Structure 1
Amino acid sequence: MTARARYAALPKAHLHLHLEAAMREDTLRQWCAEDGIAVPPLVHYPDFTQFLDAYGLLIGLLHTPERVARLLDEVMADAAAQGVVALEYASIPEKSAAFDTAVEALEFILPTAADAGRRHGVWNGAIVSIDRGAGPDHAREAARLAARFADQGVVAVGLVADERGNPVAAAAEAFRIAREAGLGVVPHAGELAGPEEVRAALDLGVDRIQHGVQAARDPAVLELLAERGTCLDVCPTSNVVLGVAPSLEEHPLPALLDAGVRCSLGADDPLLFGADVVDEYVLAEERMGITPARLTKVARTSIEASFAPAEVKRAALARLA
């Protein structure tokens, strides 16, 4: 059995995936041809701004409900093929090109995703992302939107975009709104900014941290992460492509695990970075030297740290055992 086959068969949760960038490349090329636009750059980005430009093009391609439905079906089918039993996908509903309002977007996306998940055997939940550069009013509105759909498939709020100059602490009020609605809080922190942003996120009592790899630069933050058991949703290939880590061989994931930090593996934006969640497990073994036994523990952590229902977790953990 190849390494890819082994890790595709490993039950896991995928907790760090941005919906639009989970598009298949063939689908991207088809829609670009239909719309008469150039295919955006894939995998190579001179800076974070050009990466965001490519992401914006993907959002623009999803300008009909039919395309959104196809995307969701393909994302769930791909997740099932990758051994994913629980998928948490993130998006900013108000940026949807197919719907007039964020409410309309969620009213379509949530049941459509649930139906696709049932067809392919993948539980899924939505993370409503807050654009950290859009200001406090947007943050509060995004949290209220997420709260409105808390019993309809939204499981958490996230915080995305460039951390530099946009600290996680500025979203404290939005996080409070989300928590009062029973939602999780899973911000990006410690990706482009330093370990102080990871500590700030921990001070806000977040449930998980997306990325968080800069914590490896501060032993005190590592100790705090391990003590609290907060899971980092780590995306090594993304980190290398965007220059957060110089190479996979020098990525801090092994150091995080050695320090007792709980981690899940995610693909972040598989279309734009050229690696899916199974690739991340394979690369962690082959390029970072992380043992299969330790990666099985990472898969266990991903399931335990997810917002999936208890029965989904029990069944997945039983299979993993």
Structure 2
Amino acid sequence: MPETSPRDLRLLPKAHLHLHFEESIRQTTLDEFALELGRPTPRMTDFTSFIEFDELCQAAVDVMRTPAHLIRMVGEMAEDAAAQGCVWIEPAVWLPLHRSFIGADEQTLEILIDASTTATARTGVGIGWILAINRNESPADAVVQARIAARWEGRGVVGLGLHNDESRFPAADFVDAFAVIDGTGLLRTPHAGELAGPDSVRASIELLGANRIQHGIRAIEDPAVVELVQRRGVCLDVCPTSNVVLESVPSLADHPLPALVEAGVAVSLNADDPVNFGCDILTEYELARDAFGFGPEILANFARTSLMASAAPQDTRDLGLPAIEAWLEGARA
């Protein structure tokens, strides 16, 4: 079977489902923002632990101070997504990060959604926002974020996420927040199975009703959890480079992605925090091909799964899914 080239993978339509908004910033743009303020530029790859990583991300947010900054970031995020072959992206944002400089949470959200409309018109990349709950904050704040997500359903918000250290703040703490979106069509996309084991994945599915799990790779440690993921039709939004850099796995050779694929689990490929890990969704697809040896059929299935597990509107799917099949036919030729 002929190998695909990087250009081929760029032409493979895909959705990016695990992408943190602030960490989607270009390093050059971050440099400019810091220069405007006369502050040192955060070097986003300079960390050796999850705690240092989290602190560095906060330092980056500290130079994102104006609506113009956020608008530019949304536009560049869409440009980069288009260049990487994305037709749909679901960036995640914890709105309180921007209270100090931008204002109230829904003011920030309105800026992001208005910027998304402009960016989509210019690039053709659809954007649906995941509003995040921060595990480090109180359950009461989690309910506030869930209520905002519910109010903005159908106006640019497509899901509710749950971020930060699952090993210290388990899913059970956030049942009330996720209950707020009962009866809505919002996706439930908690992080799990990254810093904690398969029980975290199970709890996210059974207690929070997860449609997708951000990461989820440690599900492989318990066959019963793998079976649960399959039975519930949950997609794992996997980020191989992130998992190695943050030491969720020792190396790519130890990564469970091949085992998850072999087990028939639904998987999407994602970059997580591009500016921190020096990757993007295109390089993750290239990694899947070059390091894991996946052929065109599996690569196309990652892309197909990403669209099917997303909140992309039907017209985006109607265009994207046949284009994936056309790409696959070309790869087979």
Q: Same fold (TM over 0.5)?
A: yes
1:76 and 1:192 map into 2 onto residues whose CA distance is: 29
1:43 corresponding residue in structure 2 = 45
2:21 corresponding residue in structure 1 = 19
Q: 1:2 to 1:31 in 2, by over 3 A?
A: farther
1:240 and 1:199 map into 2 onto residues whose CA distance is: 23
Over the matched positions of the two proteins, sequence identity in percent amounts to 43
2:201 and 2:50 map into 1 onto residues whose CA distance is: 20
Aligned residues of 1:179 and 1:185 also touching (Cα < 8 A): no
Q: Secondary structure at the match of 2:47?
A: coil
2:246 and 2:206 map into 1 onto residues whose CA distance is: 27
* 1:292 equivalent in alignment to 2:269: no
Q: Secondary structure at the match of 1:43?
A: coil
1:3 corresponding residue in structure 2 = 5
* 1:199 equivalent in alignment to 2:202: yes
1:269 corresponding residue in structure 2 = 273
Structure 1 residues 249-284: Cα deviation after superposition (integer angstroms, max 9, x where no partner): 221111111111000011000001100000001011
Q: Secondary structure at the match of 1:61?
A: coil
Q: Secondary structure at the match of 2:254?
A: coil
**Matching residue's letter, 1:308:** A
Deviates more, 1:77-86 or 1:223-232: 223-232
Q: Secondary structure at the match of 1:201?
A: helix
Number of residues paired by the alignment?
Answer: 321
- CA drift at 1:152: 1.1
Pairwise CA RMSD: 1.3
1:84 and 1:282 map into 2 onto residues whose CA distance is: 14
Aligned residues of 1:45 and 1:242 also touching (Cα < 8 A): no
Aligned residues of 2:47 and 2:56 also touching (Cα < 8 A): no
2:315 corresponding residue in structure 1 = 311
2:237 to 214, 228, 233: 233
**Matching residue's letter, 1:63:** R
1:57 to 56, 59, 65: 59
Q: Secondary structure at the match of 1:158?
A: strand
**Matching residue's letter, 2:68:** E
Structure 1 residues 92-132: Cα deviation after superposition (integer angstroms, max 9, x where no partner): 11211442110111121112112211210011100000001
- CA drift at 1:311: 1.4
- CA drift at 1:81: 0.7
Instruction: Structure 1: state its 5+ residue gaps.
Output: none
Deviates more, 1:52-61 or 1:63-72: 52-61
2:212 to 208, 213, 232: 208
Superposed, which structure 2 residues align to 1:45-194 within 5 Å?
45-96=47-98, 97-194=100-197
- CA drift at 1:143: 0.2
2:39 and 2:218 map into 1 onto residues whose CA distance is: 37
1:270 and 1:320 map into 2 onto residues whose CA distance is: 24
- CA drift at 1:39: 2.4
- CA drift at 1:223: 1.6
1:283 and 1:273 map into 2 onto residues whose CA distance is: 13
**Matching residue's letter, 1:203:** E
- CA drift at 1:44: 4.5
Aligned residues of 2:211 and 2:233 also touching (Cα < 8 A): no
Aligned residues of 1:140 and 1:173 also touching (Cα < 8 A): yes
Deviates more, 1:270-279 or 1:37-46: 37-46
1:87 and 1:197 map into 2 onto residues whose CA distance is: 25
**Matching residue's letter, 1:29:** D
Q: Secondary structure at the match of 1:39?
A: coil
- CA drift at 1:2: 6.7
Aligned residues of 1:168 and 1:201 also touching (Cα < 8 A): yes
- CA drift at 1:219: 1.3
**Matching residue's letter, 1:23:** I
1:221 to 218, 225, 249: 225
